Amino acid sequence: MAQTQNLTRAHHELFRRGPDEVFPSLQALYEFCQGEKEQSQDHWRPPSSLLPQANGSLRVDLGEGRAPYRLNDWSFTQLCGLAGASKDTVNRLSPETARQVLIETLPQGSKPIQLYSEDGLIRSIHGTTYTRLYNADLVMMLREFAVDFVPPQKAGAVNPGGTGLYCGEQDLFCFLIDPTGWAEIDGQAFAPGFFVWNSEVGKRSVGIQTFWFQAVCQNHIVWDATEVTEFTRKHTGKVGEALGDIRRIVEQLVEQRDARRDGFTRVIKRAMEEMLGSDAEETMKALSKVGIARNLAKRALELAEANGRFTIFSLVNALTRLASECEFVGDRTDADQKAAKLLELVAA
């Protein structure tokens, strides 16, 4: 049996996102990210040219002859970091006092820094080593190469509306699965999925985690995941190469899905056609040979007989139904493994 684990990354994202960060589809998410990309711009300025202002709230004049720029929580955090001042302390000061603190503590060097703005708001502040990977480019790649992958079912009553597709002022996160991509791994059914994330303002790395799973609950916990792999890259000079790397990882998952799904389909087709025995007695002997206890085999035969034939598929289906009725996990696992042995008879 494949070694499995439960993945909670999407679960944590679900409960930290507000309604304005949730998107109903990959298309809607792309349109939002593309709009941000088109409306945002970079400004390269030496720190000495930044002039904090206190116009009811703390703002920053970039010396461009236009109104001072607003700050959000992330860019304010970065500005305080640039100044070497405690964000929590500066946040408790009046705008006028905070302005004076920053004027006195911001570096005065001539080496330019990168400021990223949208509609009068500074979204992020970075040094020269930071390189941006746009959310829109990442989502566009997913739309093109993540064939048949969709968000999971919406979250339940605890946090209604959660879709697995999120983008806020600091980062992006996508949770996508292929609900039709079921394939057999070590005798059990798994479907493919992945998480992908990015921050075009430097809050987190860009990365992807792929996996094969058996179930996803409404709280977006991925249950019994196997073949879990992860790739990440920091936003440095070659971060643009990460887009190609992630694309290839998605393509490999799609290719693996197609190959496994075709094989799984062939096995199921043969299982639906091939008889395990010509009658109940012969079928009982065949079940005994694969280690199925007589009492369990008898109940499986009764269920399969209701369908008119003792095909391998009808018996696997019967054993799976009986396994779900077992009180203990060990008994359920054992019954599932016995059912998988039947499929092995037609998997060669």
For 39-85, the pLDDT digits (tens) are: 999 999 998 889 999 988 999 999 888 899 999 999 999 999 999 99
- Say whether pLDDT at 332 is over 70: no
pLDDT of 1: 46
Cβ contact 222:6 at 8 Å: yes
Q: Which range has the worst mean pLDDT, 140-149, 212-221, 248-257, 296-305? A: 296-305
Mean pLDDT of 223-227: 91
Are 282 and 248 within one domain? no
Task: Name the pLDDT band for 261 (thresholds 50, 70, 90).
Answer: confident
Q: Which residue has the higher pLDDT, 174 or 280?
A: 174
> In terms of pTM, does the model score above 0.75?
yes
Are 204 and 295 within one domain? no
Q: Residue 107: what residue type?
A: P
Mean pLDDT of 101-126: 93
What DSSP element (H or E) covers 16? helix 9-16
Nearest to 254 by CA among 173, 334, 142: 142
Are 62 and 92 within one domain? yes
Last residue in a domain, options 215, 240, 261: 261
Return mean pLDDT, the chain.
88
Within-domain flag for 220:
yes
> Across-strand partners of 198?
172
pLDDT of 333: 62
Q: How many CB atoms lie within 10 A of CB 330?
A: 9
Mean pLDDT of 5-25: 93
pLDDT of 54: 92
- Say whether pLDDT at 340 is over 80: no
Q: Residue 178: what residue type?
A: D
Buried (b) or exposed (e) across 81-112, using 16+ Cβ within 10 A? ebbebeeeebeeeeeeebbebbeeebeeeeee
- Say whether pLDDT at 284 is over 60: yes
Q: Distance between CA atoms of 279 and 66, rounded to whole angstroms?
A: 88
Last residue in a domain, options 261, 292, 325: 261
Are 304 and 219 within one domain? no
Within-domain flag for 121:
no
Are 224 and 295 within one domain? no
Within-domain flag for 148:
yes
Are 186 and 311 within one domain? no
pLDDT of 180: 87
Which domain does 29 fall in, by range? 5-36+133-261
CA geometry: angle at 132 spanning 126 and 136, to 5°? 135
Within-domain flag for 269:
no
Within-domain flag for 128:
no
Are 178 and 242 within one domain? yes
Within-domain flag for 126:
no
Are 21 and 151 within one domain? yes
Are 147 and 289 within one domain? no
Are 220 and 98 within one domain? no
Q: Residue 188: what residue type?
A: Q
Are 18 and 75 within one domain? no
- Say whether pLDDT at 330 is over 80: no
Q: Distance between CA atoms of 336 and 256, rounded to whole angstroms?
A: 24
pLDDT of 313: 80
What DSSP element (H or E) covers 337? helix 329-344
Task: Name the pLDDT band for 279 (thresholds 50, 70, 90).
Answer: confident
Mean pLDDT of 109-126: 94
Q: Please tell me the total count of domains within the chain.
A: 3
Are 203 and 257 within one domain? yes
Within-domain flag for 125:
no
Last residue in a domain, options 232, 261, 290: 261
61 phi and psi angles, rounded to 5 deg: -90, 125
CA torsion angle 12 177 191 11 (round to 10): 10
Mean pLDDT of 99-109: 92
Tell me the pLDDT tens digit for each residue of 137-196: 999 999 999 989 999 998 866 666 789 999 999 999 999 999 888 887 776 778 999 999
pLDDT of 328: 57
Within-domain flag for 155:
yes
